[in-house]
Amino acid sequence: MKMPGNMQAMMQQAQKMQQKMQEEVALIRVEASAGGGMVTVGMDGQKKVTSVKIDPEVAGDVEMLQDLMMAAFNEAHKKVEDETQKKMSGMLGGLGLPPGLL
């Protein structure tokens, strides 16, 4: 199916923007901690854990360690989501899309 010239150009632009967005998201790196730094989690833009640091003081209390790990992972996930949203808004903001579409 042949598209009009301007539609085809728009589709190509959208593909380029999507590729750039994926590249930008891949560069995201966040770190989140819980328990005043007793547990720290690093995460990348694809939400893969890149590092975990545990203070030896908390290692003996399994329940507290589990809670702190969960809190740190959830906070890291939220930070990745926030960074991704910022990048998307910045890249797509100039397109004149209606608010809330992103």
Domain boundaries in the chain? 44-85
- When the pLDDT of each residue in the chain is averaged and rounded to a whole number, the result is 86
Separation of alpha carbons 19 and 25, rounded Å: 10
Q: Which residues pair with 29 in a beta bridge?
A: 44
Q: Which residues pair with 30 in a beta bridge?
A: 43
On the question of pLDDT at 15 being above 60, the answer is yes
Return the pLDDT at 2. Answer: 63
32-36, 60-64, 90-94: which has the minimum mean pLDDT?
90-94
More confident residue, 79 or 87: 79
More confident residue, 55 or 2: 55
pTM of this prediction? 0.72
